[in-house]
Amino acid sequence: MSNSLGMAMCGAVALLLLGFAVREAAVVRRLQRAGIRTQGVVVDNTRDDYSDGHNWVPVIAFVDQQGHRVEFSPRMRGTGMNLARGLEVQVVYERGKPQTARVLMWKHMMGPAVYMLLSAVAFAGAGVLIALKS
């Protein structure tokens, strides 16, 4: 692979990840400003199928405005992201869209955006290193 192709690919991935991070931050801002807040309970912990199986993913249940029970798992996963079974947590979701629910904790709300932003910086840095080597 030529240096210019590698640099272009790193730049493209960085821009893509940056776009996803901005989109995720906008969703979080919208949830914080106009989201419906309610109490949820951690009803179970399941193994993360996408990792080596050592991470536990909480399953949180809450009742939406229509009185329907909704269960979801947080998008942010990994070491330190688990929540104890039976723990009450505050949940926020968009009006009429309970499937958008998030745990109202900084690490669960902003974690995905921060990790995507850091990944974008890493790819941009790799692109710069490739450019400097040529």
The full set of domain ranges for the chain reads 3-133
Amino acid 117: pLDDT: 95
pTM: 0.78
Amino acid 49: pLDDT: 67
Contact criterion met (CB below 8 Å) for 94 and 31 = yes
Backbone angles phi, psi at 101, to 5 degrees: -60, 145
Query: How does pLDDT run across 16-32, given as a tens digit for each residue?
Result: 999 999 999 999 999 99
Query: How does pLDDT run across 64-99, given as a tens digit for each residue?
Result: 999 999 999 888 876 767 788 999 999 999 998 998
Q: Which one is predicted more confidently, 60 or 54? A: 60
Instruction: Copy the structure tokens of residue 34.
Output: 């106009």
The overall average pLDDT reported for the chain is 89
Burial class of residue 116 (count of CB atoms within 10 Å of its CB; 0-12, 13-18, 19+): buried
User: How far apart (Å, rounded) are the C-alpha atoms in residues 32 and 20?
Assistant: 18
Q: What CA–CA distances, in Å, run from 46 to 8, 34, 73, 93, 118?
A: 40, 30, 9, 22, 27
Angle value at C-alpha 86, between 80 and 88, nearest 5 degrees? 80
The helix (H) or strand (E) run that includes residue 100 is: strand 97-103
Instruction: Copy the structure tokens of residue 126.
Output: 């790799």
Is the confidence at residue 134, as pLDDT, over 90? no
